[in-house]
Amino acid sequence: MKRRNKITIVGSGNVGATCAHLAALKELGDIVLIDVIDGIPQGKALDLQQSAPLEGFDCNIIGTNDYEASTESDLVIVTAGIARKPGMSRDDLLNTNAKIAIEVAQNIAKYSPNAYVICVSNPVDVITYITYKVTGFESNRVMGMGGVLDSTRYRTFIALELGISFEDVSAFVLGGHGDDMVPLVRYTYAGGIPIEKLLSKERIDAIVERTRKGGAEIVSYLKTGSAYYAPAASVIQMAEAILKDKKRLLPVSAYLKGEYGESDIFAGVPVIIGGNGVEKIVEIDLTEDEITALNNSFESVRKVLSKVNNLI
């Protein structure tokens, strides 16, 4: 009998717990919630499991503090780490989350050597790089979530501005998951119509800027935490693409080997994501201004990465 997919989610805070909820609703597989705090993953897993008769899913969900329960996972989602507070950048989380990422990666390699890994913890491009180096996995099996989240925020703001269905906006954001991210206006469409035909440059520039500050805007409201509904939905779109081999074309933080003129770095680029993880990085034509903006974003990632090279 074929076994279900096994999904381990490391970190059972708001993002991790919401990922577990969405994965269960989509019946992507059995779920293991792991956290260092005793009782939190156990309680959330049991609570979520008890919704199964009402929601109609048949996944088994367990919570634990022991990585052994994650053995032979098909997919590991890493959300462990501290969240941003008002006034903090994603990069301010670096030292704490980098050390956590190293320990998590060591356990992933030990217990699930064949897993695919999606990193969520910030600064995500750097945490993904650490995970890739420490696990020793092939680059197609390790990826970061940033681009999908940035793109869905961008699409949301455009739909709200135009007063149209959120589903009818297609767009993507490249570069690092930070203030230098690059929303590509030329490749942004509403119902197949370029948004430059529908909105003034002033309004588009305002939306681009709001997208770049999208996470900080939510942090400023929450005060004691950061976004989790949209990040979790972004992760699960990626997870579903892998586990169902959907061949989605999504902006994902992927390992570059010369694409876009960069190597040995993780950053958001368009990729085909399917049953073999990052199956192809898609290179698109960019203007000189777009190339400059993307290179600036890559450089921002490199600056942060240089601070943790001594750890790995």
CATH of the domain at 97: 3.40.50.720
282 and 214 in a common domain: yes
**Closest to 169 measured CA to CA, from 185, 181, 180, 145:** 185
Q: Tens digit of pLDDT for each residue in 218-251?
A: 999 998 889 999 999 999 999 999 999 999 999 9
Structure tokens at 138: 């092939």
- 3-state secondary structure at position 247: coil
Residues tagged active-site:
177
162 and 134 in a common domain: no
Query: What is the percentage of the chain residues whose pLDDT exceeds 70?
Result: 97
CA distances from residue 61 to 23, 24, 55, 73, 113 in whole angstroms, order as listed = 10, 8, 14, 13, 21
Residue 143's identity, in one-letter code, is M
**Domain annotation covers residue 298:** yes
Q: Structure pTM? A: 0.95
Angle at the Cα of 86 from the Cα atoms of 83 and 89, rounded to 5 degrees:
65
Structural Rg of the chain based on CA atoms: 19
> What pLDDT is stored for residue 90 in this prediction?
58
84 pLDDT exceeds 80?
Answer: no
156 and 305 in a common domain: yes
> What pLDDT is stored for residue 141 in this prediction?
98
> What pLDDT is stored for residue 178 in this prediction?
83
Residue 120: pLDDT band with limits 50, 70, 90: very high
227 and 82 in a common domain: no
Q: Tens digit of pLDDT for each residue in 174-204?
A: 999 888 999 999 999 999 999 999 999 999 9
Structural domain that includes position 19: 6-146
**Taking all residues of the chain, what is their mean pLDDT, rounded to a whole number?**
94
> What pLDDT is stored for residue 257 in this prediction?
97
Rounded-to-integer distance, Cα 216 and Cα 75, Å: 29
